[in-house]
Amino acid sequence: MKRILKKMLPAAAKRAIVLGIDGFSLFLARACATNGVLAGLYYAFFSRRFDREHLAVLRGRLAYAKSLREIGETSPLLRRNIHRLEKGLIMKPRRPLFAEGFIAETVHCYARAAANLDYSPAELKWATDVLDAYFDVVEPSPVVEQAQQVYALCSQTRGTERPILVPPTFRPYPRSDSPPCNISHDALQALFIRRRSVRWYQPIPVPGDLIQKCIDSAALAPSACNRQPFRFIVANGVERASRVAQCAGGTVGFAEQLPAVVVVVGDLSAYPKEQDRHLIYIDGSLASMQFMLAAETLGLSTCPINWPDVDAAEVRLQKLIHLPEYERVVMLIAVGYPDEEGGIPYSQKKEYRLLGQDMVTDDH
């Protein structure tokens, strides 16, 4: 019906209808933008633009709840709690008794991880080293002692059939043990200036081991509570890469010659609560930036590609790369050896003033 009307109506009438709908929608938006309940009603009855986000967040919560019962290769709860313990261990001054509120759930989760041979050996070693450090120093209490007993039993289940990761230990360490920084600010700035969004590439395949190196660099990015709620799906080879790139609107005209495309995917099953839903985009973007800078040091160029919340595009990509509904695309990254004659938009950068103390009020 919509299509038939579109064909039959003269252009002026179509324009008038579009303007009318836009005007009405803006009128409703103005009326509903006064408080949260009305805004919720607006998005329940007049616009379905948040449907996919809502669905993904709810599915994420359910998948998180499932991950507590059926542990896989990794556990968001264990990662988060082990990180909380690390932070407790480095506190100045360190409290004699800490983490009482969550040590029981941590060791129970650890027990399930230790019993699962598919669980990541590195993650388990980190948890083991940090729990050892914790029980070495924490002041005994009934809660701590009970947790320690559960933990002691785990040492019988973990081990033997699993690859043994040898030292160095994954316990907290002093800053002075960090490797020195041999990169000057000028050298780093030169890398930032060299990295540009490159859209034209040489028809040369991208070696998989170089993409792996970029992913290894991306994995070193900071992430909230060290959950690292993202993964990278690599479409390598022009044919595959262009099929993925064509799902995105922002690649018109250059999608067909991209040698590789990486899909950065955020995992909402890392969170029990809606309040953290934005972290997949923050953590995923920080990692993406490291990926792109690492690529530049390997002679590769990149272009981040936007992934707006467009239903049809999401359905297409979801089918192509088999995404569960609790995973959301953060962005795509085109990767390849740059065509040296290919143009680079100047894309002038804003100048940022150093904002001074006058921006922070003294009294509150």
Ligand X SMILES: Cc1cc2nc3c(=O)[nH]c(=O)nc-3n(C[C@H](O)[C@H](O)[C@H](O)COP(=O)(O)O)c2cc1C
Q: Which residues bind ligand X (CB under 6 A)?
A: 196-197, 199, 248, 250-251, 303-306, 331, 345, 347
In the complex, what is the shortest distance from the CB of residue 233 to ligand X, in angstroms, rounded to a whole number? 17
150/191 with CB nearer ligand X: 191
In the complex, what is the shortest distance from the CB of residue 294 to ligand X, in angstroms, rounded to a whole number? 15
CA 9 to each of CA 20, 229, 290: distance values in angstroms, whole numbers, following the listed order:
15, 48, 51
Strand partners, 230: 266
Q: How far is residue 200's CA from residue 185's CA, in Å, rounded to a whole number? A: 29
CA 44 to each of CA 53, 54, 56, 187, 275: distance values in angstroms, whole numbers, following the listed order:
13, 11, 16, 51, 20
235/331 with CB nearer ligand X: 331
91/346 with CB nearer ligand X: 346
In the complex, what is the shortest distance from the CB of residue 190 to ligand X, in angstroms, rounded to a whole number? 14
In the complex, what is the shortest distance from the CB of residue 254 to ligand X, in angstroms, rounded to a whole number? 7
76/304 with CB nearer ligand X: 304
Determine contact, residues 199/303, Cβ cutoff 8 Å: yes
313/321 with CB nearer ligand X: 313
* Nearest Cα residue to 165 out of 124, 106, 136, 130: 124
Dihedral pair phi/psi, residue 266, rounded to 5°? -100, 145
H helix intervals, the chain: 2-8, 11-32, 36-41, 51-69, 76-89, 103-115, 121-137, 142-157, 185-194, 208-218, 238-245, 279-297, 311-321
81/251 with CB nearer ligand X: 251
225/247 with CB nearer ligand X: 247
Contacts of 81 (CB under 8 A, 6+ apart): 102, 105, 106, 109
In the complex, what is the shortest distance from the CB of residue 11 to ligand X, in angstroms, rounded to a whole number? 29
* Nearest Cα residue to 199 out of 252, 244, 272, 160: 252
Q: How far is residue 344's CA from residue 325's CA, in Å, rounded to a whole number? A: 36
In the complex, what is the shortest distance from the CB of residue 350 to ligand X, in angstroms, rounded to a whole number? 11
Dihedral pair phi/psi, residue 330, rounded to 5°? -90, -50
In the complex, what is the shortest distance from the CB of residue 334 to ligand X, in angstroms, rounded to a whole number? 9
In the complex, what is the shortest distance from the CB of residue 199 to ligand X, in angstroms, rounded to a whole number? 6
Q: How far is residue 28's CA from residue 41's CA, in Å, rounded to a whole number? A: 11
248/268 with CB nearer ligand X: 248
